[in-house]
Amino acid sequence: MANGSFISAPQTQLRVASVDQMLSRAPADAQSWLAPSEWQRCQRLMAPQRRSHYLAGHWLLRELLAPYRRNPTEPWQIIDRPSLPPTIADRPELFLSLSHSGPWIACAVSTAPIGIDLEQRRPRPALAGFDQLLRNPDEPADSLDLDALLQRWVVKEAFIKRDCGSALPERLAELHLHASGEPGCVCLWEHSQFLLGSTDHQVRPLVASAVPGDQPRVLQHWRVVDRGMR
């Protein structure tokens, strides 16, 4: 690697933290640590919550990237890409994925394409309107309750984000999900506060929490059949 500044690190790192926790650890002057394209994007975010999510996620990203750099003070040239995950100018072999919901932020760094999706566990009656897009065609209408629909949403989102796609209605309908007793395409993790889907089923997400044992457990492995690839 250039100038010997890069070192080997785990193939995938996946972490979840609270937005407030990350904001308390990030320097107050965001322009001092954000790369130019990140700073430009941050300035365009007018909604306070969206701006907080962005800053928290991109600081968490830097914490995960720290093991990959010999000099911890050397800035990361992260490139913000509209509607796509960020990338790193001098480390194209690293793949990034970010997700946020409510007070939580999740981030993954991997040496292979990865998609993650995090959704806060809260009442979501609007999900009933997505029933036809989230269940398989051979499953009866209204056979999935709201929690099951949320699980399907998380799994499909993670799978789509791995390929840098968009969760358009037709794309959601193309993905058929089959519960698997063996590690499958997407691993769904359950926490008391959120659900987390990851296309890397081998890595265990770490939740930055002061509560001992407050870590997610595997809820289900899913095999994804992509009908859009026929």
Whole-model pTM?
Answer: 0.92
CATH superfamily of 1-113: 4'-phosphopantetheinyl transferase domain (3.90.470.20)
Point out which residues pair with 96 in neighbouring strands.
109
pLDDT in tens, 148-173: 999 999 999 999 999 999 999 999 99
Point out which residues pair with 110 in neighbouring strands.
12, 95
- Strands of the sheet with 12-18, listed across from one edge: 95-101, 104-110, 12-18, 206-207
pLDDT in tens, 105-140: 999 999 999 999 999 999 999 999 999 999 999 999
How do the domains of the chain map onto residue ranges? 1-113, 115-230
Task: Report the pLDDT value the prediction gives residue 21, as an integer from 0 to 100.
Answer: 94
pLDDT, the chain, mean: 91
Cα→Cα distances 177→10, 45, 120, 174, 192, Å: 29, 35, 21, 10, 24
pLDDT in tens, 7-18: 665 689 999 999
Burial code (b: 16+ CB inside 10 Å, e: under 16) for 205-224 equals bebeeeeeeeebeebbbbeb
